[in-house]
Amino acid sequence: MNIIVNGENKEFDNESTLQNIIRELKIEDKVMAAAVNMEIVKKDQWGNFVIREDDKLELLQFVGGG
């Protein structure tokens, strides 16, 4: 399955949940917000939200600065 994560094409074996994709990318401790096809997905829904072929994910982390 092909999906686009932060502008990059990524291949995954099967349809999966957003939470599983984040785990597979090994960034679960860093992601603070997620959008799928330009729609925000609340963190408590990540485990049930199924990602499908050609979905576009934006995974965001907050960075301090000044």
CATH of the domain at 36: 3.10.20.30
Asked if the structure places residue 27 within a domain, the reply is yes
Residue 47: domain span: 2-60
Instruction: Find tokens 């499908």 and name the residue.
Output: 52
pLDDT in tens, 30-52: 899 999 999 999 999 999 999 99
| Domains held by the chain: number | 1
Asked if the structure places residue 66 within a domain, the reply is no
Prediction pTM value? 0.87
**CB 56, CB 3: distance < 8 Å:** yes
Residue 57: the pLDDT is 97
